[in-house]
Amino acid sequence: MDGKLEKVENRTEQERLLERKKREIELIKEVSGQINKTLDINFIAQTMLELMDKHFGFEHSMILTLDNNNESLSVLATHGYKDQGIGAKVRVGVGVIGIVAKRKKLMRMANMRMQMNYMHAVKKEVIKSNSDKIKETVPLPGLKDVESQIAIPMILDEELVGVFSVESQKLNLFDKEDELIITILANQTASALKHANLYKLEQERLNQLNQAHSDLADLNQNLEKKVEERTSELVELSKKLAKYFSPQVYESIFSGKLDVTVKTQRKQLTVFFSDLQGFTELTERLEPEILTELLTDYLTEMSKIAIKWGGTIDKYIGDAILVFFGDPSSNGHREDAINCVAMASEMIEKLSGIRNKWLNRGVSKTLNARIGIHSAVCTVGNFGSQDRLDYTVIGNGVNLASRLESNAKANKILISEDTYLLIKETFTCIEKETISVKGVSYPVKTYEVLEKKEASKVKIQPINKEMPGFSLKYNPSELSDNDTAIKLVSDVLKRLEKQKSLDD
């Protein structure tokens, strides 16, 4: 009879153990399913505490995690306390929780109301040290009439992640046989918290990178805006400076071809000089505002023509204009002289229209220009001091051009023999009287330009132009293969059109 009773009892115990194991497995699956479905640290901790209350009746519990400095633990989540105490700190090695963190061993306390010394230690768990690293900012949650407490280390790969702490007003929190399963659940939670924390750190790094990228983008945008604004300012300044230079000189300076230093050279040039006949009388008869407007109108139109023909405008002296051909760029001595005379002829034609315009506005004094042109070797370049430079031309050739201008008739072009020899095949001229010039030991022959010869008798002019990324030199007298040249120019045009379409 006793044997049968023993067998029944053994079977009942085995069934109880089996049922217990089954319940433990279900519990592990439930906890695992809940805490592993998210990477939210707070959700994981809070879910763990609620499941512990559901299955074990842990009405008052908390999870503390180890700080990065490994010197303290911070309250991550609490359950059942009126004051949640999130963020409260406990030093490692201080109080039950601190000792469990230090030793990585479970600690169970009972009959705590009889242990006044321990109660004093609990109160001291909230840090009151003088350490600058750990300061009391939030009080640690706790029951006033606590009877028992258990603290379980949360460990992953032998490293402490945090501590799971439970308090109760009852004498015993849970059965001894539940200790293992609770430890397993605590460590499982430790794994989830570790992974969630790594994810959180990764997200923080990603946010920092995104913020850095955004800041960099803003910086680049601001930099681009500042560069654009500065470039716009420089462009405006460049446009203003361009008004003080001849286009050829301006391009030479900003392309680096012309050094901004005191530097000159001897060069074959064709020099142009013009002024308005009777301008002094005109200044006496007109109001300053009208005179300024008239002179501006005249000089503007003459300058456009000079630039069109490639002349370098040296300076304006009242109504007088000094232009030269052959520097900083040249098409050859002959072509420079031809372009200079062609420029002068167009100026005379244009002056007729300006004269009629101002006659209609009541300026009765006619505008008549005198022009002198001479070709010779002159000194050209930057003259002046180290602080201020003037790009100009000097020499007897300039003086002779000035004398030719003063001897010219109204609206006539008087040239020297040196210029005549260069342009005689292009322009019809008549010989005029010789003149004596100071500094020249011989009489200077002069010629008056009448008109341009027929186009059939005129040679095609060479071209010699340069700009950044493009240069063109064409001399018909030297070209031996027109077909190849046409193909080459056609290829260049196709490329330019393709580039323009890409830019657009």
Q: Per residue in 200-251, pLDDT tens?
A: 777 778 888 888 888 888 777 787 787 777 777 766 766 665 556 556 565 6
My answer on whether 330 and 468 are in the same domain is no
SS3 126: strand
Establish if 216 belongs to a structural domain.
no
Establish if 7 belongs to a structural domain.
no
Domain-ending residue, one of 164, 185, 202: 202
Neighbour count for residue 447 (Cβ, 10 Å): 23
Domain-ending residue, one of 202, 228, 244: 202
My answer on whether 142 and 61 are in the same domain is yes
Establish if 238 belongs to a structural domain.
no
Alpha helices in 57-130 (DSSP H): 95-103, 116-123
My answer on whether 472 and 455 are in the same domain is no
My answer on whether 355 and 488 are in the same domain is no
Q: Find out whether 313 and 321 touch, Cβ atoms under 8 Å.
A: yes
Establish if 30 belongs to a structural domain.
yes
My answer on whether 336 and 481 are in the same domain is no
My answer on whether 154 and 184 are in the same domain is yes
My answer on whether 267 and 399 are in the same domain is yes
My answer on whether 467 and 456 are in the same domain is no
Q: What are phi and psi of 314, to 5 degrees?
A: -80, -55
pLDDT of residue 422: 94
My answer on whether 437 and 473 are in the same domain is no
**By C-alpha distance, which of 172, 167, 173 is closest to 145?**
167
pLDDT of residue 133: 47
The parent domain of residue 21 ranges over 17-202
* Consecutive 10-residue averages of pLDDT for the chain (504 residues): 56 63 68 71 82 81 87 88 85 87 84 53 48 56 79 86 85 69 78 76 80 81 78 69 59 57 80 89 83 89 91 88 89 93 94 86 80 92 73 87 92 94 94 84 90 66 73 75 83 83 75
pTM of the model: 0.48
My answer on whether 457 and 471 are in the same domain is no
SS3 71: coil
SS (H, E, C) 418-457: HHHHHHCCCEEEEEEEEECCCCCCCCEEEEEEEEECCHHH
Question: Peptide bond preceding 328: is omega within 30 degrees of 0, i.e. cis?
Answer: yes
My answer on whether 310 and 377 are in the same domain is yes
CATH number at residue 401: 3.30.70.1230
Establish if 215 belongs to a structural domain.
no
What is the domain count for the chain?
3
My answer on whether 490 and 413 are in the same domain is no
Q: Find out whether 62 and 73 touch, Cβ atoms under 8 Å.
A: no
Q: Find out whether 419 and 391 touch, Cβ atoms under 8 Å.
A: no
CATH number at residue 131: 3.30.450.40
Establish if 218 belongs to a structural domain.
no
Q: Per residue in 442-464, pLDDT tens?
A: 888 999 999 988 754 445 667 77
Q: What are phi and psi of 71, to 5 degrees?
A: -110, -15
Establish if 404 belongs to a structural domain.
yes
Give one DSSP letter per residue of 133-166, joined into a string: SS---SPPP--TT--EEEEEEEEETTEEEEEEEE
Neighbour count for residue 332 (Cβ, 10 Å): 16
